[in-house]
Amino acid sequence: MARVYFSKFLLLFMCASAAYAHTHIRNVIIDGEVLDRGKCIRPYEKNFNFPVSSVKSPELVCRTTNMSANATDICDIQAGATIILEFHEEAGRDSVGIDPSHEGPCLVYMAPLSSNGAGNVWFKIFEQGYDAKTDKWCIDTLDDASGKLRVTIPADIEDGDYLLRGEIIALHAASDIGGAEIFPNCVQIRVSGGGSAKPSGVAIPGVYKEDDPGILFDLESDYTTYQIPGPKVYEPESTPHPISEDGNTTVADDDIGTEDDDGNNDNGSDDNNDDDDTSTDTDSGANINVIGGVFRRLIGSLATAALAFLY
């Protein structure tokens, strides 16, 4: 017991004494492009990597009490595409994602930007907790990936502007009420090429209770499972056009008649559901996808050139 007490004490001491053992989303990567530090990330107050410690705090939304600070860029992304949230302990990209002592899950939510995060607006799009087979927490795989958390934007959600909230919950001190260290950050994104889905949401703060099994958790116990807090992850109705990181569709599509030249079906009808696809992809289908990919890359290059010009 003395040893356990000592290790907990040491961890608390390390956390209290230095800024170094925490984390923040330093930058995001969209379409393979590493965006500038802080670009599209909501301004926040916690010096810069300090945690939120109360699940009731208004800071639980975007790590700030000032949600009016919305003078942030909005980054374009296609529905169904992958965004990479790059967590780092320190300001540099070469620092670790988070200290390995900070075992815990990763969670990602979205809400319409117009809500500014208020109300029952947050739907969960990603979660990763503890894997007993590998004995790895999400933060272990995060660190293995140099702090990069890959998240897919649901392909069927309505086009528009959203807050995307990435979160790590560090559990090293979570055996006491209020001990969990919560690290949320909000990214502003503009989604296009989606469908008509408006997933139902929960309130933040409100979604977590201080004694939720995923918030009040003893890492020193003989656990074999971990219950990730919050709602179930939203499952898109269909994933009509999965898009890989470089903007190419990764699944060929034989619904040629319903394609437009950006490779997306934007007529909003049900025929963009590929659940019944067989392996009868045609050459012309593949070509259309190649053209769609080239078109998207061209738009991406133009956007990059425009950004390079502006900055």
- Residues at the interface with Cu ion (CB under 5 A): 15, 21-22, 181
261, 140 in Cβ contact below 8 A?
no
214, 128 in Cβ contact below 8 A?
no
Whole-angstrom distance, CA of residue 53 vs CA of residue 171: 11
Cβ-based nearer residue to Cu ion, 21 or 149:
21
Cβ-based nearer residue to Cu ion, 107 or 169:
169
Cβ-based nearer residue to Cu ion, 25 or 111:
25
Compute the least distance from the CB of residue 221 to Cu ion, in Å: 20
Cβ-based nearer residue to Cu ion, 22 or 165:
22
Compute the least distance from the CB of residue 28 to Cu ion, in Å: 22
Can you give the length of the chain in residues? 311
Compute the least distance from the CB of residue 46 to Cu ion, in Å: 12
> Which residue's CB comes closest to Cu ion?
15
Compute the least distance from the CB of residue 19 to Cu ion, in Å: 9
243 forms beta bridges with 249
Cβ-based nearer residue to Cu ion, 22 or 88:
22
Compute the least distance from the CB of residue 20 to Cu ion, in Å: 9
